[in-house]
Structure 1
Amino acid sequence: MRNLFVTALVFLLAAFVEAPGGLTKEERESAIKYFTETGQALADEISSLTENQLKWKPSDSVWSVANNVEHLAISEKIIFDWAMSTVKTPADPSKRSQLKNTDEQMKSILVDRSFRVKTQESFQPSGQFGSVSAAMVEFKKRRASNMEYIRTTEDDLRNHYAETPFGLADSYQVLLFIAGHTMRHTLQIRELKGHADFPKN
């Protein structure tokens, strides 16, 4: 009888233990779709550009298409590493009430080009990949690795956090930051292509 009581008590206590913040199937699928769509949008946007078009810029203070692509290849790793660093901090479910944005709001903010953030030196393009095609190879390799992490991770991505330029975000939202950032710069590339002086070939 005592053993039966102990067993029942264990199950009762377990019911009150907060479940880990592992991703749901829907969260995984949503993130994978977002990463896939934004990566493809970038590839499509630059696919037919000539070397002259890739390197053109309207002024010295504005990035070229090539600069944007290199920046994205660099960012794909740096932002992912940032997300992973948040997972190493103690989980704190009580902070969820402090999140500033929903997942969808975070995506919208990231592609709002009226909101400008100064790029840190570590993200600055410097020609390190040698060519746009090489930068895209690196981008795609890093993107595939990041997507595999999202598909398979059991990390608690909802109860770890980071301060972002847009307010407190959880680790899952920091990962969404990667794909949203890709779309942000794809839109910047579209702006360049729409410039009146953009080369015809």
Structure 2
Amino acid sequence: MNQVQKLVQDVSTARNRYLDQIANLSEFQARWKPNSEVWNSIENTEHLYWAEQGGILGMWKTLHAIREGEMIRTYEFNNKDLSIEQIVERTWQPLEKVPAVAAPRLGGSLSFWKTSFLNMQNVLEAFAQDLQENELRLQAQHHPISGALDFHQRLEFLRFHIDRHRGQVSQLISTMNSL
């Protein structure tokens, strides 16, 4: 297994853990939230879908722009050689505001968003087939909060982001169950 495949497998594992976390929620439970400032399980799942869709689209566009000479091929940027955890620690505030493009906005059923989020794995795997291992450390598109990242870090971010929201949903479920 090469490094691209390993990173994609890590995202798949995180995705499956997240989906397992919400697998037994009823639609009623999925809509529950303790207050208006907290996203419910549907909103978290919709957000993960939009964030991943935008992230993969951005990576793919950037990859082809680099290959076609429309963007500079560079390995030098301020987050070079840092793990995604280190980058988030350096760049994120405690209650970061979600970029509008990744915000939950359509609502709907948990079933729809679970299926949509699961299907992003197919898109990610198709992107990974296009990405060459020697391109992993090329600077990819900027993250709206963290700034410049390379393709390796962007793939790490997908895993990190899913795990972060799995923790939020776990806390939400725990709070709901304690009532």
Shorter chain as normaliser: what TM range?
0.7 to 0.9
Structure 2, unmatched stretches of 5+, are none
* Mapping of residues 102-141 of structure 1, within 5 Å: 102=81, 105-107=83-85, 115-128=94-107, 130-141=108-119
TM-score by length of 1: 0.72
Aligned residues: 171
Residues 80 and 178 of structure 1 are in contact (CA less than 8 Å); yes or no, is this contact kept in structure 2? no
Q: Which moved more, 1:118-127 or 1:163-172?
A: 163-172
**How does the TM-score come out when normalised to structure 2?**
0.80
* Counterparts in 2 of 1:26 and 1:100: CA distance versus 1, 3 Å: same
Q: Deviations over 1:99-157 (max 9, x none)?
A: 42546x204655999743211222221235x3111111111112222123214433834
Question: What is the identity, as a one-letter code, of the residue corresponding to 1:125?
Answer: P
CA 186–132 in structure 1, closer or farther in 2 if over 3 Å, else same: same
1:144-155 paired onto structure 2 within 5 Å: 144-154=122-132
Match of 2:174 in 1: 194
Give distance in 2, aligned partners of 1:100 and 1:84. Answer: 20
1:57 aligns with 2:37: no
CA distance in 2, matches of 1:73, 1:117: 18
Distance verdict in 2 for CA 1:45–1:111, change over 3 Å = farther
Three-state SS of the structure 2 residue aligned to 1:79 is: helix
Matched, 1:173 2:153: yes
Cα distance in 2 between the residues matched to 1:111 and 1:189: 21
The answer to whether the 8 Å contact 2:80/2:150 transfers is no
Identity of aligned residues (%): 20
Structure 1 pair 44–61 and aligned structure 2 pair: CA distance change class (3 A): same
RMSD of equivalent CA atoms: 2.8
The residue type equivalent to 1:161 in the other structure is A
